[in-house]
Amino acid sequence: MTFGSHAALDRSAEVVAPASAATKAAVVPSKRPLPTIALSATGDITFGEDGTYPRGGARALLEGVRKHLRGDVVLGNLETVLGDGTRARQLGGAPTCPEPPDPCFNFIAPAAFALGLRASGFTILNLANNHAFDFGRIGETMTTGALASARLRWTGKPAQVTSLRAGRVRVAVIGAAPTPGPRTCSTFPEPRHSCETQRTARRSSS
């Protein structure tokens, strides 16, 4: 902020004397405002099982919520493999199932659905969940390849920390699960608080 010049008043002469150099206005530098970012996040996303998909793909399925998927970072929990089920099986990516009597769901959708995720507003997807690994490492590789082709980031692999830029801010995103497996929150250096928080949330929602 710049203040105006000062002036001294000589009453005996009834004239205004000009300000000296020492009393001229000082310039106060303005403080640079702290940067802000907008974050948006969703829960589980899946598109069906092998051969059964929503008509119009991911973009059509998400059309009704697209207006809400806005922000500098838009995160979704991708509970599916993105790839070709037949090809995954040929490469040894066998579907995984829980022990009976728990039902068996193996979610996989075409790799092109990643483009629909990006068009709907997502910028990063979390793979720290059970269905992202439905076809093992083969399925996971297909998924990350599909996301990369759609220019989408991902997180959730063991000890993975994904960094994104939002203007002047760098945002670190960690995906972890409170369940046993390669994506458990205990794979991080200081996991105790994160693990306990997730376990508490899980118990509260059950």
pLDDT in tens, 83-116: 998 898 889 887 777 778 878 888 999 999 999 9
Q: Between the CA of residue 32 and those of 35, 72, 199, what are the distances in Å?
A: 9, 20, 40
- Angstrom distance (rounded) from CA 86 to CA 94: 10
Q: Which residue has the tokens 């659905």?
A: 113
With CA atoms as reference, report the closest residue to 58 among 162, 180, 150. 150
Identify the pLDDT of residue 69: 96
More confident residue, 183 or 79: 79
Identify the pLDDT of residue 20: 52
Identify the pLDDT of residue 190: 54
Which residue(s) pair with 81 in the sheet?
108
For the cut 60, the answer to whether the pLDDT of residue 199 exceeds it is no
Identify the pLDDT of residue 173: 94
Identify the pLDDT of residue 34: 82
Provide the 10 A C-beta neighbour count for residue 43.
7
pLDDT-above-70 percentage for the chain: 72
Provide the 10 A C-beta neighbour count for residue 38.
10
Identify the pLDDT of residue 182: 54
For the cut 50, the answer to whether the pLDDT of residue 14 exceeds it is no
- Longest alpha-carbon distance in the chain: 104
Identify the pLDDT of residue 13: 40
| 169-196 pLDDT, tens digit each | 999 999 988 766 556 565 555 544 455 5
Identify the pLDDT of residue 120: 96
Letter string b/e over residues 160-192, b meaning 16 or more CB atoms within 10 A of that residue's CB: bebebebeeeebebebbbbeeeebbbebbeebe
